[in-house]
Structure 1
């Protein structure tokens, strides 16, 4: 059908992580057990089966943007930040307004969350960054589907497979790549996990369970998991 549903999960979402005594922020799952534990944690949180993962390197984002001759976005504010100790070092300097970003600028746009040295933060913090990332994804898809770029999709798919950590078989990636003509930005559904930030010994994003369940059923009705989180927790306590 060419339809795509994307649900963004804030990095500080309070979640149960298998093997841990207490709930923690969901990004810790990757530190403890890599992509496999991250998939299990998302499955437990949302109640959906997660079959595949893609771990994207900064370089592949830059390579992709350069391959399609830039991606057009609306930068909502002047973005300024510097952190030479980051891995890789992070230097952000973007001006407000509609513009075409090159590879380096795209990374700046996608990573910006807060300013330093007296410069303003992005409204909403991590949630604001998620909005930037969602805007970028739609703009990138729109750029890929232009006639001069759509012929490059098989090349993009092979480069993608060589430069990311994923468990998606190459034949599956190529199959999706060959169906790219069926995609459009109108068929991309995007949402962010419902909830709010709360301070509980540290700042967490607390998922609204009722709203999240309704949203997940709407977006991923064909991928419901068999076990619920309470059953998984009980199994973990008895093992």
Structure 2
């Protein structure tokens, strides 16, 4: 392809879905055989439900009639969800919104100690029989936003993708130095501060860094600072990926990506994403505050601010304090 079709962006960071969509576009137009034969021609894949449904609130109606596709983006290290994002792409306006969900976000589940590690959202995927489905439900419960699809990528896939695009230009905010000899394999992070090209291995170090060794700086706001750096790196990676041809990236990343998108859905979204640019990409942090409970640090979602965010996302006015209060209570 002389110019690759600008793909639907959302993945481990939006970047992942760029790769995911590209994989299926590549399969349709370049690779021969059974995969291409499976694809039906579909101009507008349907992510909506029954047209005759009744709705309890204006927000429910807006969600049902929306052109948005909401995708759970997960960065995996083994069975651990080290990065969790919810990406919402408006197929009509070609705007994308990414909500980062801190891995320490408190999500109460039965069968575990009230303030144990298992009550953090990053424990859901690896501890449930159907990890994808359980994590999608957890994100829906916390945000109130329906999750249509998921895309997961292993860290090896991120490493391969970054190398395939020739690295990413990025300004490292401070010297990141961290050692964990007990990790498997042992983890050594050492990235000097300043503007530099970040390649695959260093990209993984950058995305994983949170706390510095003694005598070296850490993020003053802990996991929140780490998430902000991840968002900035993703934006830089997307900007570069949109200027390149995809086949070499696809070949490198394909074994490490999993999604429940069908070929037809991805190809339809590819068409919708033509004209997308990083100027139409907005990133957010899940509203909330860090708090120690028991002996552990958790991130406590702010139900009221989340409701305000969701109403704004779907362009629905909050018409009364009663409605706002009742919805906030539902997220507690």
Q: What is the number of equivalent residue pairs in this alignment?
A: 224
Equivalent in 170, 187, 211 of residue 263 of structure 2 = 170
In the alignment, the residues of structure 1 paired with residue 259 and residue 147 of structure 2 have an alpha-carbon distance, to the nearest angstrom, of 13
Do residues 204 (structure 1) and 301 (structure 2) align? Answer: no
Contact 1:44 1:229 in 2 (8 A): no
From the superposition, tell whether residues 102 and 155 of structure 1 become closer, same or farther in structure 2 (CA, over 3 Å).
Answer: closer
Match of 2:218 in 1: 121
In the alignment, the residues of structure 2 paired with residue 120 and residue 196 of structure 1 have an alpha-carbon distance, to the nearest angstrom, of 22
Do residues 107 (structure 1) and 204 (structure 2) align? Answer: yes
Match of 2:122 in 1: 27
From the superposition, tell whether residues 2 and 42 of structure 1 become closer, same or farther in structure 2 (CA, over 3 Å).
Answer: same
Give the superposition deviation at 1:216: 2.2
From the superposition, tell whether residues 130 and 122 of structure 1 become closer, same or farther in structure 2 (CA, over 3 Å).
Answer: same
Equivalent in 96, 107, 117 of residue 15 of structure 1 = 107
In the alignment, the residues of structure 2 paired with residue 220 and residue 106 of structure 1 have an alpha-carbon distance, to the nearest angstrom, of 34
Which structure 1 residue ranges, 5 or more long, are not aligned?
A: 223-227, 234-239
Match of 2:94 in 1: 2
Give the superposition deviation at 1:13: 1.1
Which structure 2 residue ranges, 5 or more long, are not aligned?
A: 1-92, 317-326
Match of 2:66 in 1: none
Moved over 4 A (4+): 18-23, 157-161, 177-181, 228-233
In the alignment, the residues of structure 2 paired with residue 177 and residue 89 of structure 1 have an alpha-carbon distance, to the nearest angstrom, of 40
Q: How high is the TM-score relative to the length of structure 2?
A: 0.61
Match of 2:58 in 1: none
Give the superposition deviation at 1:42: 0.7
Q: Decide which structure has greater helix share.
A: 1
Do residues 67 (structure 1) and 160 (structure 2) align? Answer: no
Alignment partner of 1:124: what SS? coil
In the alignment, the residues of structure 2 paired with residue 18 and residue 52 of structure 1 have an alpha-carbon distance, to the nearest angstrom, of 25
Give the superposition deviation at 1:116: 1.9
Give the superposition deviation at 1:155: 5.3
Alignment partner of 2:149: what SS? coil
In the alignment, the residues of structure 2 paired with residue 30 and residue 195 of structure 1 have an alpha-carbon distance, to the nearest angstrom, of 22
In the alignment, the residues of structure 1 paired with residue 144 and residue 124 of structure 2 have an alpha-carbon distance, to the nearest angstrom, of 16
In the alignment, the residues of structure 2 paired with residue 175 and residue 162 of structure 1 have an alpha-carbon distance, to the nearest angstrom, of 23
Contact 1:57 1:164 in 2 (8 A): yes
In the alignment, the residues of structure 2 paired with residue 183 and residue 109 of structure 1 have an alpha-carbon distance, to the nearest angstrom, of 27
In the alignment, the residues of structure 1 paired with residue 235 and residue 308 of structure 2 have an alpha-carbon distance, to the nearest angstrom, of 24
Match of 1:225 in 2: none
Residues 103-129 of structure 1: per-residue CA shift (max 9 Å, x gap): 111111111100124322122110011
Considering only aligned residues, what root-mean-square deviation do their CA atoms show, in Å?
2.7
In the alignment, the residues of structure 2 paired with residue 38 and residue 221 of structure 1 have an alpha-carbon distance, to the nearest angstrom, of 26
Contact 1:14 1:205 in 2 (8 A): yes
Match of 1:236 in 2: none
Contact 2:165 2:240 in 1 (8 A): yes
Q: How high is the TM-score relative to the length of structure 1?
A: 0.82
Do residues 96 (structure 1) and 193 (structure 2) align? Answer: yes
In the alignment, the residues of structure 2 paired with residue 218 and residue 158 of structure 1 have an alpha-carbon distance, to the nearest angstrom, of 39
Alignment partner of 1:27: what SS? helix
Contact 1:16 1:45 in 2 (8 A): no
